[in-house]
Structure 1
Amino acid sequence: MILLYRPGSSILHRSPAGVKLALFALAALALSAYPHDGWSIAVVLVAVCALYAVARLPLRILLAEAWRLRWIVLVLGAALTIFVSPLIAWINTGRVVGIVLLASLLTLTTRMSDLLAVLHRLMRPLGRIGVDAESVAMAISLTITMIPVVAGFADRVRDAQDARGVRLGVRSAIPLLVLALRHADDVGDALAARGLA
């Protein structure tokens, strides 16, 4: 499994995983539900970038995370611009970018073991109604970490296609799907070896 945690001593690294997870959930909810305008989305994106500076992560990490989102931005932005309006495209694309960058920041500043422990504690009360808290916690944490992992796979596919001079097309999704499925198999094998699957 690809480990995304970057050790550090910033206030975000030292903050409890539960606090960070709660703030991420609230921020994602606010970004999704609040009726933003063009200026407020710009402020949100600047604030998210500032959080990377607060975490004392090098600028290259923020740029790499943003670069991984380029195809999402292009496809979503173009579709919304064509079918709705440029302003709506800016607002909704900004929302997606903000949420994904926050998810990446969470995984960059939080150890997976800490995140799993928090999720397990949150799910424990559901055990009374037959929900397996460990499985749910593992599924949620894997989902959070898969966002930047799949974005990294998309980068690899794009770089390989550029090197071969291949044009974009529907067939571009096939190598990405193969990499994602292979990674899922590897994660499943690792979980099974540890008795977690």
Structure 2
Amino acid sequence: MISLYRPGNSPLHRLPAGPKLLVVMAAALGISLTPPSPALLAGAAVAVTGAYLLAGLGAAEPARQAWRLRWLVLVVAVSQVFFLPALTVVANVVRVVVVILLANLITLTTPTGLLVDAIERALTPLRPLGVNPSRVALMLSMTITTIPVIAGFAAQIREAQRARGVPVAPLAFAVPLLIMTMKHADDLADALTARGID
């Protein structure tokens, strides 16, 4: 599994993984349900930037991470722009970016092992219902760590296409992104199999 953790001694680094995940989940839910108000969405973006500053990652880090999402943003915007009002499209794009930045902040300030342990502990009461906490925790932690990886793939593809003079085209962008994502999934599956995880 790819770990994006950056060691540090900030309040967010010291915060236990369980409460941190709960706060981020609540924030992501709140952002997703926020009405398409420019003021509220701008406030959410400022709050996320403040969280990066609190983590000691600097003001440039959220901007850098958001820049890596530009092609994902383009796909999200193009898929909605013909069907929804402009304000709703902008609101949806901002929501997606802010939630991804929050998920990325978790991976930057929390070792993956602690994330898995926290999720597993939270799901343990569901074991009598047939839930396997270990498997679910591993799946969720891989999802969290994979989001920024796929965003990085998108940035690599567009940079390579720009270097070759390839114009922006959704199909020419989506196909290699899908291939790279599937290759990454295969690599993850091989790594898990090598460790005896089916």
Partner of 1:49: 49
Partner of 1:84: 84
Runs of 5+ unmatched residues, structure 1? none
Partner of 1:181: 182
Amino acid at match of 2:39: W
Q: 1:37 to 1:60 in 2, by over 3 A?
A: closer
- What is the CA deviation profile of residues 32-86 of structure 1, one whole-angstrom value per residue up to 9, with x for unaligned ones? 1232411111111011111111101034422221111212333433554543222
Partner of 2:5: 5
When normalised by structure 1's length, the TM-score is 0.93
Q: Does 1:126 align with 2:122?
A: no
- What is the CA deviation profile of residues 6-53 of structure 1, one whole-angstrom value per residue up to 9, with x for unaligned ones? 111100001000011000110011111232411111111011111111
When normalised by structure 2's length, the TM-score is 0.92
Q: Within 5 A, what are the aligned runs for 1:184-195?
A: 184-195=185-196
Aligned length: 197
Partner of 1:17: 17
What is the rounded CA distance, in whole Å, between the counterparts of 1:127 and 1:12 in structure 2?
Answer: 30
Runs of 5+ unmatched residues, structure 2? none
1:78–1:89 contact (8 Å) kept in structure 2 = no
- Deviation of 1:125 after TM superposition, in Å, equals 1.6
Amino acid at match of 2:68: R
Structure 1 segments of 4 or more deviating over 6 A?
A: none
2:69–2:155 contact (8 Å) kept in structure 1 = no
Amino acid at match of 1:30: G
Seq. identity, % = 46
Amino acid at match of 1:5: Y
Secondary structure at the aligned position of 1:35 is classed as coil
Secondary structure at the aligned position of 1:140 is classed as helix
Partner of 1:96: 96
What is the rounded CA distance, in whole Å, between the counterparts of 2:46 and 2:17 in structure 1?
Answer: 23
What is the rounded CA distance, in whole Å, between the counterparts of 1:116 and 1:166 in structure 2?
Answer: 41
What is the rounded CA distance, in whole Å, between the counterparts of 2:193 and 2:160 in structure 1?
Answer: 32
Partner of 1:32: 32
Q: 1:179 to 1:76 in 2, by over 3 A?
A: closer
1:38–1:90 contact (8 Å) kept in structure 2 = no
Amino acid at match of 1:179: M
Partner of 1:143: 143
2:157–2:176 contact (8 Å) kept in structure 1 = yes
Q: Over aligned residues, Cα RMSD in angstroms?
A: 1.6
1:80–1:86 contact (8 Å) kept in structure 2 = no
2:5–2:107 contact (8 Å) kept in structure 1 = yes
